[in-house]
Structure 1
Amino acid sequence: MFPEITHDDVFRLETDRLWLRWPRAADADEIRRHVGDPDVALMTTSIPHPYEPHDADAFILSARQENAVGEGLHLVVTPKSRPNEPIGLVSLHGADRRGTATLGFWLGKPYWGQGYTTEAAKALIDLAFGITSLDRIHSSARPDNASSLRVHEKLGFSRIGRGKLPAPARGGEIEVEQFELKRGEAHTVFGARRPRFSST
C-alpha cells in the first residue's frame, strides 16, 4: 500500500505542532502509560485492558514490521518540542483490493481537547491520498465517544451507518458508528499541497 519512502524508520511527517514518526522500542513506557488508562483503551477494539508490560513491546514490533513492508503506516504522535515523547498514535492499515484502508488513532488523556488527533490524522490522510492508490478510508467510533465522532466530522468523513465490529480486546463485538472518506473529499491540513515529509 505505502511506497518505499515510508519503509524506513527515519521517515517522519511534520505538521504545525507535531512530528509523526515510526514507533521505537524506547517508546514502550510512554505508550504503556497512556493506553494503560481505561478511558483510552476501552474506547478501542484492539487495546487490551489492563495493558500488560509486554503489550507495548509486541505492538511496537508488529507496527514496525508492517511499516517496513508497506502494508500499513503506524506513526506515533509527538510534540515538536519533545520528539522522543509519544503522546498518541495514528495509523492506516488493512488495505484491500478495492483500494480501501482503515484509519485508527488514540491520544493520551492529558492531551485531549487540543486538536492534536485531528492535526495528526489530517497529515496522514493527506499523505495517503498523495502517494498511494487508495480510493477511500474507513474508520469507526463508539457511539458514546463524542470526541472521536467530532474528529471524524472535522476530517470530512461521512457516516455510512451503525454496526458491530470484532473487538478482541473487549471480549467480543462492540457497536460502532461507521465512517468513510473518499479521495478528494478530505479536509486536509495542507489544502491542495501534499504534506512535508522527510526520510533524513
Structure 2
Amino acid sequence: MFPDLTRDDVFRIETRRLWLRWPTARDAEAVARLAGDPAVARMTAQLPSPMPLHEAEGFVLRVRAGNTEGKGLIMVVCRRASPGQPVGIIGIGPRPEAPAPHLGYWLGRPYWGEGLMSEAAAAIVEAYFAYAGGRELVSSAMVDNPASRRVLEKSGFVADSCGEIFSVARGETVAADSFRLDRAGWLDRRGRVS
C-alpha cells in the first residue's frame, strides 16, 4: 500500500506544529497512559481502558512491522517542539471489514481542542494520496463524538452511512457514522485549498 519512501523509520511528516513519526519502544508508556484514559478509549472502537503497558509495547512492535512491510502507515503525533513526547496516534491501514484502507486516530485528552488532530489528519491523507497513489480512504466516528467528525470533514471526508461498531472500552455496540474520501474528492479539495 505504501511505497519504500515510508518504510524506513527515519520517515517523518512535518506540519506547521507537528511531527508525525514512527513509534519507538520509548513511546509505549505514553501510549498506554494517553490511549488508556477512559475518556479517550471511550471515543474509539479498539482501545481498551486501562491499557496495560505490555499491550502498548505489543502495539509498537506490530506497527513497526506493518510500516516496514508497507501494509499501512501508523505514526506517533508529536509537537514539533517536543518530538520525543507523543500526544496521539494516527494511521492508515487495512481492516478486514472495510472496503478500502481505513484512517484511524486518537489524541490524548490534554491536547483536545487545539486542532492538532485535524492538522495531523490533513498531513497523512495528503501522504496517502500523493505518495502511495491511494484511490480511496474510509473512516468512522461514533455518533456521540462530534470532534472526530469535524476532523474527518476538515480533511474532505463525506459521511457515507450510519451503522454500528463494537467499542472495546464501552463493551457494547454503539452508533457510528462511516465516512469516505476518494481520489477525485481529494484532488478537488486540494485544488481549492492550494
1:29-178 paired onto structure 2 within 5 Å: 29-94=29-94, 100-168=100-168, 170-171=170-171, 173-178=173-178
Aligned residues: 190
Q: Would the aligned equivalents of 1:63 and 1:74 in 2 still touch at CA under 8 Å?
A: yes
Q: Aligned residue for 2:20?
A: 20
* One-letter code aligned to 2:16: D
Of stretches 8-17 and 30-39 in structure 1, the one that deviates more from structure 2 is: 30-39
Which stretch shifts more, 44-53 or 74-83? Answer: 44-53
Cα shift at 1:114 = 0.6
Task: State the 1:50 CA deviation.
Answer: 1.8
Q: Which structure ranks higher in relative contact order (CA pairs < 8 Å, sequence separation ≥ 6)?
A: 1
Cα–Cα, structure 1 residues 171 and 95, in superposed 2: closer, same or farther, change >3 Å? closer
Deviation digits for residues 139-186 of structure 1 (CA, Å, limit 9, x no counterpart): 001000011111111111111110123445544543211100111323
Distance 1:61 1:149, change over 3 A: same
* CA deviations over 1:29-50 (Å, ceiling 9, x no partner): 1111211211101111111112
Aligned-pair RMSD on alpha carbons? 2.0
TM-score for both structures, normalised by structure 2 = 0.91
Structure 2 unaligned blocks of 5 or more = none
Q: Percent identity?
A: 42
The structure with the largest helix share of the pair is 2
Q: Distance between the aligned counterparts of 1:128 and 1:74, measured in 2?
A: 11
Contact 1:75 1:89 (C-alpha < 8 Å) held by counterparts: yes
Name segments (4+ residues, structure 1) moved above 6 Å: none
